[in-house]
Amino acid sequence: MTSDFSAAQPPDPKQGWARVIVELHDAVVMAPENSRFRQHCGVFDRDGNYCPQGATWRYNNRMTLHPKSVPNPQGRIPGRWLWGGLLFHHFGHFLVESTARLWALEHYEKPLSGIVFVNKRPRMPPQLGGFQRDFIDLLMRDVPVHIVKPAARFEELVVPGQGFGLGDIAAATPEFRQTFSQKLSQSVAPQGARRLYVSRSKLPLETAGMIGESKLETLLERCGYAIFHPQDHSIKAQIAAYRAAEDIIIADGSAAHLLGFVCRPDQRIAYIVRRSSWSEEPISQIESFRGAAIHVLDELHREWIPRDPETYRQVRIGELNLEKIGQSLKRAGFIDTGVTLPQMSRPDAEAILAEQGLLEAFVPA
């Protein structure tokens, strides 16, 4: 579908510009000049008008803003290119925000010369990292990718709506869900354990961990779960494991977005919340893709916060309420009714923090 549908509101997964494709001729792409949270960059048409459909939204805010001036790059890159938007090098943000327009690889009928991105951080080299290339290849093998810096003019630019992201759009448009579920499942065969726990225990506690996770893993192993550390595996191996599993328990984090792309309604999925915020989007995504609710285990005993917020910015370490998590997993049939998971004491939690050298740096919220 093609249209010049206005994009004055945040993308809506059910209707509007998020599901629309705009075609531009002699278009200019401008990369950001700095690494600020919100950046002036984007797409202009041949007359120098800013293309609002090319902006990246996060919740109810545009993350990419109308530049103050229109660049005039020399020369023109031939062919018909797909606008991909901001290229994030963080795994989770890449999956959620850099893929948001790639649904058009399946829903745009004309041949494409490649995909165009601009780096979220201008100092990054104008090339894909390994996991980025691997993921895009699963959608379209060996498709050329052009990372613009500082600006470039294209003979034709195809601008799909933002079909995925943070906010309400985390549920994704039907076109996005169909493209990613189909393409990734066709590209990777299932291989792995029947019962899977997707862990964070190998990641630094001060940035991503959960107090008590190792105790939970010990119990889950006794119940037949394979402990899976996604950062140790390729994109394909991760997808293969998620597709093979029948019962999946996953700790809140970026891995949930990859699971969300390939999950099925016949799988049983439990999601363990690790902090008091920022868990809504992956849950919304998984439930939307599979068309059914999942078991959400929001069972934190307490959170630990830094004494000095400047040293550990936006960090909260969740301490799991293991007793309640165990009870919830038993009721939902994820673990055997005969096993028990006792709650940790505060000295137990402090000992875990001390092992990581964090006891003096964090206090209970």
Q: What does the pLDDT read at residue 153?
A: 98
- pLDDT tens, residue by residue, 306-331: 999 888 888 899 999 999 999 999 99
Question: 3-class SS at 96?
Answer: helix
Phi (first) and psi of residue 262, to 5 degrees: -125, 5
pLDDT at position 118 over 80? yes
In a domain, 10, yes or no: no
139-150: average pLDDT: 96
Work out whether strand 362-364 and strand 300-306 pair parallel, antiparallel, or are unpaired: antiparallel
Residue 21, beta-bridge partner list:
2, 160
Residues 276 and 157 in one domain: no
The per-residue pLDDT for 196 is: 99
What pLDDT score does 154 carry?
A: 99
Residues 139 and 111 in one domain: yes
CATH number at residue 266: 3.40.50
Q: Which neighbouring-strand residues pair with 250?
A: 198, 271
**What does the mean pLDDT of the chain come to?**
95
Least confident span in 205-209, 219-223, 239-243, 295-299: 205-209
Q: 90: Cβ–Cβ under 8 A, 6 or more apart, which residues? A: 254
Residues 161 and 199 in one domain: no
Q: What is the DSSP letter of 257?
A: H
User: Which amino acid, 120?
Assistant: K
Give yes or no for residue 2 having a pLDDT over 50: no
In a domain, 159, yes or no: yes
As a whole number of angstroms, the distance between CA 263 and CA 289 comes to: 7
Range of the domain at 85: 16-182
The Cα–Cα gap between 228 and 30 comes to 40
User: Is 35 part of any domain?
Assistant: yes
pLDDT at 279: 75
The answer to whether residues 204 and 172 belong to one domain is: no
Residue 348: beta bridge partners?
Answer: none
∠ Cα 47 49 50 (to 5°): 145
3-state secondary structure of 93: helix
Q: How far apart are CA 313 and CA 253, in angstroms?
A: 17
- How long, in residues, is the chain? 365
Residue 146 has pLDDT above 60, yes or no: yes
Least confident among 138-152, 244-258, 300-314: 300-314
| The last residue of a domain, from among 148, 182, 216 | 182
Residues 177 and 215 in one domain: no
Residue 338's pLDDT is: 87
In this structure, are residues 297 and 339 in contact, taking their beta carbons and an 8 Å threshold? no
Q: Are 51 and 72 members of one domain?
A: yes
Which pLDDT score is estimated for 207? 82
Residues 299 and 215 in one domain: yes
| Across 333-348, average pLDDT | 91
Q: Which of 182, 201, 222 is the last residue of a domain?
A: 182
Instruction: Work out the pLDDT band at 8, boundaries 50, 70, 90.
Output: confident
Residue 282 within any structural domain of the chain: yes
Helix (H, G, I), strand (E, B) or coil at 29: strand
Domain identity same for 238 and 353: yes
pLDDT of amino acid 6: 63
Q: How many domains are there within the chain?
A: 2
Q: Percentage of the chain with pLDDT > 90?
A: 90
pLDDT in tens, 59-108: 999 999 999 999 999 999 999 999 999 999 999 999 999 999 999 999 99
Q: Which of 138, 158, 182 is the last residue of a domain?
A: 182
Does 351 have pLDDT greater than 70?
yes
Instruction: Give the whole-angstrom CA distance, residue 96 versus residue 172.
Output: 10
Same domain? For 358 and 223 the reply is yes
Residue 310 lies in a domain: yes
